[in-house]
Amino acid sequence: MIIDREYALVDTTARLNTDLRDFEREINRAASVTFGNDLTDVFVYQFSFIIRVRTDSEKIKHGLLVNLGKNIARQVSSLCASAMRVYPNEKHKPSRQLFHCIN
């Protein structure tokens, strides 16, 4: 089964001021490292990107999606500085989020 998932930056201001096509190489590299041979395609648009992944189940494993975000964040620190959302947490370290699924 092939699954498509579309992702956009969480921060709306950053989404409007950032062209993800400028980071196409890094997004492609991060997706390739994360999904390996299961990755069938990546489409990068101005405001979002779509990953197409081959999987045996009806969902892409959450851990893989988290790793995709981490891999992108490692490669584009400038994007993280302007677009990362931080959610405070009293009992743990703050949560950080760069992208969210829009489909």
Model confidence band, residue 79 (pLDDT cutoffs 50, 70, 90): confident
Q: What is the pLDDT of residue 77?
A: 82
User: pLDDT tens digits for 31-65?
Assistant: 999 999 999 999 999 999 999 999 998 899 999 99
Hey, is 92 helix, strand or coil?
coil
Q: What is the pLDDT of residue 87?
A: 80
Q: How many residues does the chain have?
A: 103
Model confidence band, residue 80 (pLDDT cutoffs 50, 70, 90): confident
User: pLDDT tens digits for 11-34?
Assistant: 888 888 899 999 999 999 999 999
Contacts of 71 (CB under 8 A, 6+ apart): 29, 30, 31, 33, 34
How many angstroms separate the CA atoms of 43 and 52, rounded? Answer: 8
How many angstroms separate the CA atoms of 59 and 2, rounded? Answer: 10
Where in the chain are the domains?
2-101
Hey, is 74 helix, strand or coil?
helix
Percentage above 70 pLDDT, the chain: 100
**Domain 2-101's class?**
alpha beta
Check: pTM over 0.85? Answer yes or no: yes
Contacts of 36 (CB under 8 A, 6+ apart): none
Query: Is the Cβ–Cβ distance between 27 and 43 less than 8 Å?
Result: no
